[in-house]
Structure 1
Amino acid sequence: MTSLQLVVRVKDQPDMTSLKAPIAETYTDIRLVADLRGFKLRVSALRRLARANASSLRELTLPAGIGDCQLEALLEPLEALGRLYVSPPVDSTGEWLRLLPKSLKTLEITADQQITRRNWRTSTVSNCTRKTIRSGMTRSPVSFYEYFYSKLSVGVQLATDKLLDQLSVLSNRQPDYQVTHLVILESPSVTPGALARLLASFTSLKWVKLGVVGATLETTLAALHGCSGLEVLYLTDPRPLTDIPALTESEVAAVSRMAVTCRKLEELCLTSSAVNCQAVLTALLKTYLGRTIGLYVPTES
């Protein structure tokens, strides 16, 4: 075998306190995939695990609410990690983001939010998410395309303004390791200002999916003007199509300006009402783009 992957699910071994991958033989790539839900998350144990597997730990899934000290102790020694699935606590400082290894290709974050019984029924969070919060486990990962030119893909669910502001530190990574793919889903508490600040900081974006209310606001779309390499943009309103209000003239115009400014944009996917999709299409047809853009809309419209 030229590639061997060892998958360890610690939840099946609740008494496990340490983990070490086999020693790789010649021409064999030993990849360690660790699901640490159920692992005894002592800082000392995590540090020993990380040091013992610094060159072989490739994928890591952590339980909801893991503290900053635990995260930092685990991440600092790692040098080959490719995927990280994590749910940082509400009071996280975000300092752990500075310790992400250069090898990281996929970062999946589900914010650790508390939803009370009073606002449970009125929340826009899906039933799948509710089950996840009840169980206290990390959600299923965000699914998005991983193109060959992807440097770092970031997927965020149940985001808060605080978390988005913390993520902007990733813009300080070296050019070869910056964020090129971004997905933000099911985040009803995120404000347009925080979303715009994050998008403005990620100037290397090529593939973006925004599944939040306010994705078509002028401030949001204007923040994408600095993404000269943007190729694919999903504007996905999470509300039912019948509940989505009509876009204002300024919002429709903002879509056109973004399409003109982002000269490499090839695909625009708009999940909205039939009236809104038609308005955007009409505006794009009246705008001189100098190229062809594929506009994708829901089949219901």
Structure 2
Amino acid sequence: MTTFDAPSALGEDQLTALLQSLPRLEELTVRVPSFGTGRWLRLLPTSLRTLYVAGPEVTKPRWPGRYGSGLSVSLQGVAADTISHLATELGSRITLLVTDAQITTIPSQLRGAIIRVEPDTVILPAGVGDSELTELRNSRKTVKRLSVSAADLPRLRGQLPEGLKRLNIRGPEVTEPRWPEWNPLVRGLSVSLQGVAADTISHLADLRRTVTLLEIYDCNDLTTGSLEPLTRLVKSCRQLCVLYLHCTADTGRAVLTALKEADLGRDSDGQPRTICLRVPEEMYCQLKSQASYRVWVYEWED
């Protein structure tokens, strides 16, 4: 037997016994059990390639499709703790996770998997290869939010989905992607950087996309002495109009000074270009008096 649809009325002991009797199972559909221990997950046979877990109200199942040689999992209409059980019991076996539950933290056991949060979000693991790029291309028309590791950014040149609105670029220690704000009135791409090296900023200009908003978090080596990648970005991305900056006060002052001294050129309408610099409250109190008619300073209400 390669496919089995487990009835929702099964108890934990019955489901456990059933799984032990199906050593060659490849596809399994389970209505989310009333019990929540997740013990049955550790009994899934190594032959399993596709697992679909549905909540009690789901009427139109969405299979994830198979990806790679590991386990592809689809969760629909289930509680968020099911993801924790999956990570704990199945760990690195999972290569693709599709869910309609909003994920705020990536469990460490799932950092090697593609996570697709329905209907429009994809979180790619570090170490993007041809198979991950193929999966991304297959989702080009629906993806509006994408999170990638900083090390993989150069590989994404020319590969970003057509309808992408928000791009999160994360460093190796980041487990909670922070999605940038997006203004539907401003065309272009909103980008957030988390825990990355300053030179990551330089790669944004190579994405062949118009970056209009940039948020920078925890970029520790973006200091008063290493602003070149940021000033370079401002000059090359002529549509960049909003910069959110979470940094030290000294770096904030240096960024403001550099922006005021930079040749900002003109916007697409031929008007003198302006940039809105948003900073945390305590920094805003120090910098607001230093704003100019080309570089505005506002409080970042995070």
Change (3 A) 1:215 1:36: closer
Q: From 193, 196, 217, give the equivalent of 2:228.
A: 193
Higher helix share: 1
Residue in 1 that maps onto 2:258: 219
Residue in 1 that maps onto 2:144: 82
1:155 paired to 2:213: no
Contact 1:11/1:39 (<8 A) preserved: no
1:271 paired to 2:284: yes
Contact 2:124/2:132 (<8 A) preserved: no
Contact 1:179/1:202 (<8 A) preserved: yes
Where in structure 2 are there 5+ consecutive unaligned residues? 1-59, 63-73
Contact 2:166/2:191 (<8 A) preserved: yes
Residue in 2 that maps onto 1:168: 205
Contact 1:59/1:82 (<8 A) preserved: yes
Q: How does the TM-score come out when normalised to structure 1?
A: 0.52
Cα deviation code 1:240-276 (max 9, x no counterpart) = x5xxxxxxxxxxxxxxxxxxxxxxxxxxxx6242xx5
**How many aligned positions are there?**
204
- Structure 2 counterparts to residues 50-199 of structure 1, below 5 A: 58-63=120-125, 66-69=126-129, 71-79=132-140, 80-89=142-151, 92=152, 94-112=154-172, 133=173, 138-170=175-207, 172-173=208-209, 178-190=210-222, 191-199=226-234
Residue in 2 that maps onto 1:120: none
Post-superposition offset of 1:153: 0.7
Change (3 A) 1:11 1:151: farther
What is the one-letter code of the residue matched to 2:168? E
CA-based RMSD: 4.3
Measure, in 1, the Cα distance between the counterparts of 2:165 and 2:252. 25
Q: How does the TM-score come out when normalised to structure 2?
A: 0.52
Post-superposition offset of 1:95: 1.4
Contact 1:160/1:189 (<8 A) preserved: yes
Measure, in 2, the Cα distance between the counterparts of 1:143 and 1:88. 16
Residue in 2 that maps onto 1:228: 267
Post-superposition offset of 1:233: 1.1
Q: 1 or 2 for the larger relative contact order (CA 8 Å, sep ≥6)? A: 1
Measure, in 2, the Cα distance between the counterparts of 1:201 and 1:144. 21
Post-superposition offset of 1:157: 1.7
Post-superposition offset of 1:19: 5.8
